[in-house]
Amino acid sequence: MNPAVHLDGITKRFPGVVANDDVDLEVERGSVHALLGENGAGKTTLMNVLYGLYQPTEGIVRLDGEPQSFDSPRDAIDAGVGMIHQHFMLVDPMTVWENVVLGNEPKTWGGLRVDRAAAREAVVELSERYGFDVDPDATVADVSVGEQQRVEILKALYRGADVLIMDEPTAVLTPQEVEELYGVFEELTEQGKTIIFISHKLGEALSAADDITVLRDGVNVGTVAAADVTREELAEMMVGREVLMDPATPPQETGDRVLEVTGLSVEDDRGVEAVSDLSFELRAGEILGVAGVDGNGQSQLAEAITGLRESSSGDVRYRGEPMAGKTRRDRIERGMAFIPEDRQERGLVMSYDLTENAILGSQHDPPFARGGRLDWRASRDHAESVIEQYDVRPPDAGAEAESLSGGNQQKFIVGREFERDPDLVVATHPTRGVDIGSTEFLHDRLLELRAEGKAVLLVSSKLDEVQGLSDRLAVMHEGEFTGIVDPATVTEEEIGLLMAGESLDDESVEGAALHDDAGDGAGTGDAGDGDGADDSPGDEIDGSAGGGEGVDA
Amino acid sequence: MRNPLSLIVGTVGVLALLGILGLAFPESVAGDLAGIVFSTSTATSTARLAAPIVLAGLGGIFAEKSGVINIGLEGLLIISAFVSVYAASVVEIGSTVFGVPALAVGFLAGIAASTLLSAVFAVVCIEFKADQIIAGLAIWLIALGLAPFMSTVFFGGVNTPNLGASVGWRYSAALVLLATVGSWWLLNQTAFGKHLRAAGENPKALDTVGVSVSKVRYAGVLLSGVLSGVGGSALALSIGQFVGSGETMVQGKGFIAIVVYLFGNYNPIGALGAGTLFAGLQALQTRLQQLGYGIPSSLVETIPYVAVIVVLAFVGRTQIPEAAGEHYETEE
Amino acid sequence: MSDSDPDTDRSPSVLARLVAPFVDRSVAERLVISVAAIFLSILVGFAIVLVSGRIAECSTAAWTLPFTGIGFCYDPVEVYVVLFNGALGYPFAVGDPGLFNPGWSPFNLSFGLTLSETTLLIFTGLSVAVAFRAGLFNIGTQGQLVVGALATALSVLALVPLLPAGRVAGVVLIVVGTVAGAVAGGLWGAIPGALKAYADANEVITTIMLNFVAANVAYVLVLEVFRAEGSSVVATGYVPEYAQLRPWLFPASSDFALIALLVGVGFIGALYYFVEHTSLGYDLRTSGVQAAAAEYGGVNAKLTTVRAMTLSGALGGVGGAVWVLMSEGRWMASIPDLGFDGITVSILAGNNPIGVLPAAFLFGILKGGALEIGFRTDVPTELVAVLRGLIILFVAMPEFFRMIGRYAGVGGGGVAASTEPDETGGDGGETDA
């Protein structure tokens, strides 16, 4: 029997780049196939070829042995290939059924009217057949991310897809939702559908897929059965060398209390409470990690602390000083650095060159401004020093921010913020989109800051990152910390439970959070400017005991 | 008071109260006012004035829902107002073309002119990715120059002579109601309506299911041209003349139309309500003038404009389509 | 952007998205596009003149299409010759032997009128440009000019009886009048700024509405209260001559004071310095290109919005002051469309203060030339208004010129290169673990 999908010698070239180089890929009908690789390995390009978005430079796409030539995704859909993008292609204000039938609406009255009843029925029938639990009349904006994903799958099935391509399907899911998704995979393959999913997560490929194909630099490194391969072997295939998965966080005494958050509530843009009655504190020389599925209030928390969003209630104290009524500018001047998650929206002005970007946030302060006048020479020197220290490429202070790659943009932002000589660094997703080498470098810099006695609030959805770097790890769910745990001893399963909103029974783990309050009664009277020197080193934090233990990716 | 519809409902309530007061105390100021508000002449001039505002507003809904903000509605009204009068005068009142009377020919010509200009706007915005606000502004300014220019070429002055015949207010009212109901149907019941909404909210979602975003957006913009064309023709032909001096006879109605559909929250029924409200205000103002209430007309004329500002300040941002104003490019 | 970043999906506001690509384009490319847009507009205008010349009725053809014998009532070549040559006072001797007109002096009436328009357009152009740089579309310069002009006229007229007539009083009155215009225009501009900042009301709509309000309210005020006795039009009394900006070197009827143009050029320099070399200027233009980044950088967005609109309104108000003190000598109801022309000037200038100078001069020529067209040809002067719209339309569509550039293969660098697909590795997105 012919494989359901056979990519035969696919090569895809873009001007100056070979994204896929003679890639062969065979996928059996009714199987789950993982396409594994690092960022930029060519996974998405290959799937875009299969989905008709790109025409291959060389090679042939075969479905059930039949050669195909897709000029557009439309052709691929007609041939039974459905794509579920990482960012869902759903129209938020429309209902589930409207989204499912979009573009293929059943009609009555000679085409003058969409046949609602027929459309709903088709959606209900499909979701029953595959055991999906979705309300056809719900508005997409109101349903959970997991449900939105199922709506996307329904869309593909409604169009008669036999082969489903999913791009990073677990990126936005909680561990529990991921389990549900694996269940959906099973249901689909039992009924003869074929699934190819793109991933860069080893564990996911191993547990969900029947076969795994690893891509590296656009080349197929090999296809293996998930049952016959180990994690380490896969990692080596992906990276091409042995991987050290343990960033080292040496134990360290913490100092003064830098940030105190009490009863903080923050609303998001829609006026929905995103952070609910949150309390915690952060000390000099400490990294507090915040883990959680994206969209559980982490962004709003970081914005409220750094002065980009007003809190609806509660209190933020920075070095003992209440921050209520303090503007973003005030907080920058007091030594708060912020690495924003949306670097192209906030972190950099894309049309400015690096010289201009180097003073973003310091444009009123010496040495860059005197008497309201800007000193472009000083800012150019500053840009050049950041570029040199943080290895930003190309090393050109006159280059526009938008001409840099994502990783280099990020390095420049991180460099600019770190070089402010801050007391507090709020870093959200600091290594998102950054290649492995630069990620290691940025991790080292974060640890250096910690060693210098800076306080770091590290928000990341990369579990290994927050777990590996943090002294304490807070897990956030729907605006609350479901737990503050010792990253060294907590298991991935426990974090998963916390991310899903359940609390752990083990009181000793929660103790990490409560412990701070006990040891610092005197600090509240502190004006906040007496830094470091007179701090009693007696405070001991659970997290600092054994941070050296690494955690697997 | 975030919901603009509540404003319309509130206004209807105030009108009802005024009516009751007027009936109860016919001798009071309320009685006087009620007499004006509910007089037939106010009603007919409201219908006349509402036609261009509501129709252009409906057109604006289609364009903006599809993701193209059309602030050139004013220009579309101007060009159709002139062309309708010009075409009717070429045919000459009383004679027909293939059995179609002159005024109807004028109507069709006005619609055609407006649609043509909106097609230019569509090409510029969709094909050449122009900034929609600036292109819309250009459409307005072009029409603002072109209509008086052509009027001078053809008639020797920026104002055309009066045709000596006009379209009755009942036709205008019927057109408005028909267009409102039709628009509502098109937006809410047809597949095209769904596609329009998707094109404005998440064009990529529409593209990935194989519907051309450009085609949907072209349709949206052209519909704004057709509807504005009806509105502009109705405006000019209800008087029988095109006035091209200053801001022309359109006098900002295209801009009020934008506010009207923002008030109506992109709902044709809402646009009808808000448009009638503004037209009513204007009609009322004219009547007050005629009755000799000593308020300078220019001052009363500012009421709708001030109302627009005040309500905009209260209502603030409406549910503007997510992708409105953005260019969309299919990948490859 | 090598990684098709998910971050870019979340855009701040519709208007910011609209304005951003417009504000941040390279200067060279803008220059090329502006020049091309002007030529294209002239070309289209040529066609319009031809077509309407075919439709219009006249006894003798003004122009015949070569080789065909088809006659046209309007001569499109003549129109443009009159437009550009006339605006300068006919320095070129068309048709006669010799290229230059020997009797030509730069200090002629037509050129004076052209420069007078140029001066006014510098102020309104700067007004629109400064708002644009802050990401705000101020269509209300017209209203701000109307209000500023009225404030100037009224304040000067109020002060005249208090000061002894003379040169010193004239200088004082001119300064006070200009400041009054700036303050009034600034306040009028601050209204939509505040509405935008604190009530989230779209400034495009509010400024358009405020234009109508300004025109009507000013009209009523003058009609009912400040109308000069015995005036046949709705206008205030005249400002005494010593308090006017009187023509110098140029004929008195040109209404062009060189000093006003020099002040305008000074404003251009000052504004350029402000935008490029001061902290507040950095705040302002950063808000314009990327509001979210500006807020991140500690810029108070609301305050910047109000500031920018106030500054913009003040510049419009100064334009109004110059119009009163230099052009009319009084406030009158029929105020020309200087504010709307300011939009065109600013867009043509790429919202760059330096670019405002040539753009204002070009529009000065169009305005001055329009008068000549009215005198010397049968073509309706509204042609110039059409050209204005066309120029904006073409400047708004850079992609069109890029396409032409690509077809012609002359895309050398700036024009063509920027739109190449830069999808490289393909694997975009984030790397969550």
What pLDDT, on the 0 to 100 scale, is given for residue B219? 96
From the CA of C231, how many Å to the nearest CA of chain B? 19
Residue type, B169: W
**Interchain proximity A44–C5, CB inside 8 Å:** no
Count of A–C CB contacts within 8 Å? Answer: 163
Model confidence at C177, in pLDDT bands (50, 70, 90)? very high
What is the rounded CA–CA span in Å between residue A117 and residue A107?
Answer: 10
Quick: pLDDT tens for A378-401: 999 999 999 998 888 788 888 888
The residue assigned the tokens 């673990």 is C433
Mean pLDDT of chain B: 85
Topology adopted by domain C109-377: ABC transporter involved in vitamin B12 uptake, BtuC (1.10.3470)
**Interchain proximity A405–C9, CB inside 8 Å:** no
Mutation for testing the B interface, residue in C4, C195, C208 having most B CBs under 10 Å = C208
What pLDDT, on the 0 to 100 scale, is given for residue C19? 46
What pLDDT, on the 0 to 100 scale, is given for residue A430? 86
Mean pLDDT of chain C: 82
Interface list for A 450-489 with C (CB within 8 A): 461-465
Looking at A19-23, B29-33, C25-29, which range is the least confident one?
B29-33
Model confidence at C55, in pLDDT bands (50, 70, 90)? confident
pLDDT at residue A513 is higher than 50: no
In terms of CA atoms, which chain C residue is nearest residue A366?
A: C279
- Please, where are the H alpha helices in B66-166? 73-91, 102-122, 132-155
Q: Cβ contacts (< 8 Å) between C201 and chain B: which residues?
A: 309, 312-313, 316
3-state secondary structure C207-219: HHHHHHHHHHHHH
Phi and psi, residue B83, nearest 5°: -60, -35
Mean pLDDT of chain A: 82
Q: Cβ contacts (< 8 Å) between C216 and chain B: which residues?
A: 298-299, 301-302, 305
pLDDT at residue A531 is higher than 80: no
Q: Are strands A311-318 and A321-322 parallel, antiparallel or unpaired?
A: antiparallel
Select the highest-mean-pLDDT range: A320-334, B91-105, C77-91.
A320-334
Q: Cβ contacts (< 8 Å) between C344 and chain B: which residues?
A: 141
**8 A C-beta contact, residue A221 and residue A277:** no
**8 A C-beta contact, residue A515 and residue A427:** no
Average of pLDDT values for B306-331?
74
Tell whether C278 is within 8 A of chain A (Cβ).
Answer: yes
Interface list for B 107-126 with C (CB within 8 A): 120, 124
Whether B217 is covered by a domain: the verdict is yes
What is the rounded CA–CA span in Å between residue B79 and residue B119?
Answer: 13
Q: Cβ contacts (< 8 Å) between C384 and chain B: which residues?
A: 145
What pLDDT, on the 0 to 100 scale, is given for residue A324? 86
Q: Cβ contacts (< 8 Å) between C382 and chain B: which residues?
A: 145-146, 148-149, 152, 158
pLDDT at residue A407 is higher than 80: no
Average of pLDDT values for B277-283?
82
Average of pLDDT values for C393-398?
86
- Numbered ranges of CATH 1.10.3470 in chain C: 109-377
Q: Cβ contacts (< 8 Å) between C20 and chain A: which residues?
A: 351
pLDDT at residue C146 is higher than 50: yes
Out of 3.40.50.300, 3.90.180.10, 3.50.50.60, 3.30.479.30, the CATH code matching A5-239 is: 3.40.50.300
Average of pLDDT values for A12-40?
85
Tell whether C6 is within 8 A of chain B (Cβ).
Answer: no
Q: Copy the structure tokens of residue A265.
A: 């509530």
Model confidence at A512, in pLDDT bands (50, 70, 90)? very low
Q: Cβ contacts (< 8 Å) between C7 and chain A: which residues?
A: 341-345
- Tell me which DSSP letter residue A488 carries: T
From the CA of A34, how many Å to the nearest CA of chain C? 15
Its domain, for residue B102, covers 56-257
What is the rounded CA–CA span in Å between residue C47 and residue B186?
Answer: 39
Phi and psi, residue A536, nearest 5°: -80, 125
Tell whether C280 is within 8 A of chain A (Cβ).
Answer: yes
Whether B311 is covered by a domain: the verdict is no
Interface list for C 296-335 with A (CB within 8 A): 296-300
Strand, helix or coil for residue A133: coil
Interface list for C 201-220 with B (CB within 8 A): 201-202, 204-206, 208-210, 212-213, 216-217, 219-220
Residue (of C169, C179, C186, C182) closest to C239 by Cα position: C169
Interface list for C 367-426 with A (CB within 8 A): 420-421, 423-426
Tell whether B144 is within 8 A of chain C (Cβ).
Answer: yes
> For a pLDDT cut of 70, what percent of chain C falls above it?
85
Q: Cβ contacts (< 8 Å) between B153 and chain C: which residues?
A: 52, 55-56, 380
Average of pLDDT values for A39-65?
86
What pLDDT, on the 0 to 100 scale, is given for residue A145? 81
Tell whether A98 is within 8 A of chain B (Cβ).
Answer: yes
pLDDT at residue B159 is higher than 60: yes
Residues whose CB is less than 8 angstroms from the CB of residue C97 and which lie 6 or more positions away in sequence, other chains included: none
In terms of CA atoms, which chain C residue is nearest residue B132?
A: C18
Tell whether B209 is within 8 A of chain A (Cβ).
Answer: yes
pLDDT at residue B38 is higher than 80: no
CATH topology identical between A5-239 and A253-335+422-524: yes
Tell whether B305 is within 8 A of chain C (Cβ).
Answer: yes
Choose the closest CB to C22 out of B128, B131, B144: B131
**Interchain proximity A360–C9, CB inside 8 Å:** no
Model confidence at C422, in pLDDT bands (50, 70, 90)? very low
Quick: pLDDT tens for C274-292: 999 999 999 999 998 888 8
**8 A C-beta contact, residue B258 and residue B69:** no
What pLDDT, on the 0 to 100 scale, is given for residue B22? 67
Model confidence at A273, in pLDDT bands (50, 70, 90)? confident
Residue type, C150: L
Interface list for A 95-154 with C (CB within 8 A): none
**Interchain proximity A103–B204, CB inside 8 Å:** no
Tell whether B53 is within 8 A of chain C (Cβ).
Answer: no
Angle at C223 between CA C218 and CA C226, to 5 degrees: 80
**Interchain proximity A328–C427, CB inside 8 Å:** no
Strand, helix or coil for residue A9: strand
**Interchain proximity A102–B189, CB inside 8 Å:** no
Global pTM?
Answer: 0.80
Topology adopted by domain A253-335+422-524: Rossmann fold (3.40.50)
Average of pLDDT values for B37-65?
87
Model confidence at B182, in pLDDT bands (50, 70, 90)? very high
Paired with A481 in beta bridges are A476
Average of pLDDT values for C177-200?
94
- Tell me which DSSP letter residue A170 carries: T
What pLDDT, on the 0 to 100 scale, is given for residue A495? 79
Tell whether B145 is within 8 A of chain C (Cβ).
Answer: yes
Model confidence at C182, in pLDDT bands (50, 70, 90)? very high
From the CA of C206, how many Å to the nearest CA of chain B? 6
Model confidence at C241, in pLDDT bands (50, 70, 90)? confident
Model confidence at B295, in pLDDT bands (50, 70, 90)? low
Choose the closest CB to C8 out of A344, A351, A360: A344
pLDDT at residue A244 is higher than 60: no
**Interchain proximity C296–A361, CB inside 8 Å:** yes
Model confidence at C5, in pLDDT bands (50, 70, 90)? very low
Residue type, C178: T
Select the highest-mean-pLDDT range: A227-236, B47-56, B215-224, C41-50.
B215-224
What pLDDT, on the 0 to 100 scale, is given for residue C419? 34
What pLDDT, on the 0 to 100 scale, is given for residue A544? 35
> For a pLDDT cut of 70, what percent of chain A falls above it?
87
**8 A C-beta contact, residue B33 and residue B18:** yes
What is the rounded CA–CA span in Å between residue C219 and residue B301?
Answer: 12
What is the rounded CA–CA span in Å between residue C119 and residue C326?
Answer: 10
Choose the closest CB to B210 out of A92, A103, A111: A103
Q: Cβ contacts (< 8 Å) between B332 and chain C: which residues?
A: 421
Whether B201 is covered by a domain: the verdict is yes
What pLDDT, on the 0 to 100 scale, is given for residue C331? 93
Average of pLDDT values for A78-93?
88
Residue type, C359: A
What pLDDT, on the 0 to 100 scale, is given for residue C348? 87
Model confidence at C97, in pLDDT bands (50, 70, 90)? low
Average of pLDDT values for A123-130?
90
Residue (of A138, A236, C395) closest to B137 by Cα position: C395
From the CA of B233, how many Å to the nearest CA of chain C? 21
Quick: pLDDT tens for A464-488: 788 888 999 998 888 888 888 888 8
From the CA of C364, how many Å to the nearest CA of chain B? 17
Quick: pLDDT tens for A136-147: 999 998 888 888
Q: Copy the structure tokens of residue B129.
A: 């990715």
pLDDT at residue A284 is higher than 60: yes
The full set of domain ranges for chain A reads 5-239, 253-335+422-524, 343-421
pLDDT at residue A527 is higher than 70: no
Average of pLDDT values for A429-434?
78
What is the rounded CA–CA span in Å between residue C354 and residue C363?
Answer: 15
**Interchain proximity C429–A345, CB inside 8 Å:** no
- Please, where are the H alpha helices in A62-129? 73-78, 96-101, 116-129
Q: Cβ contacts (< 8 Å) between A52 and chain B: which residues?
A: none
Choose the closest CB to A14 out of C294, C298, C423: C423
**Interchain proximity B309–C386, CB inside 8 Å:** no
**Interchain proximity B205–A99, CB inside 8 Å:** yes
What pLDDT, on the 0 to 100 scale, is given for residue C245? 84
Average of pLDDT values for A278-304?
88
Q: Which chains touch C (3 or more CB pairs under 8 A)?
A: A, B
**8 A C-beta contact, residue C304 and residue C284:** yes
Whether B100 is covered by a domain: the verdict is yes
From the CA of C360, how many Å to the nearest CA of chain A? 27
What pLDDT, on the 0 to 100 scale, is given for residue B32? 65
What pLDDT, on the 0 to 100 scale, is given for residue A39? 66
What pLDDT, on the 0 to 100 scale, is given for residue C11? 38
Whether B223 is covered by a domain: the verdict is yes
Tell whether B65 is within 8 A of chain A (Cβ).
Answer: no
Q: Count helices and strands (H / E) in chain B.
A: 13, 2
What pLDDT, on the 0 to 100 scale, is given for residue A543? 34
> For a pLDDT cut of 70, what percent of chain B falls above it?
83
Interface list for C 6-65 with A (CB within 8 A): 6-12, 20, 23-24
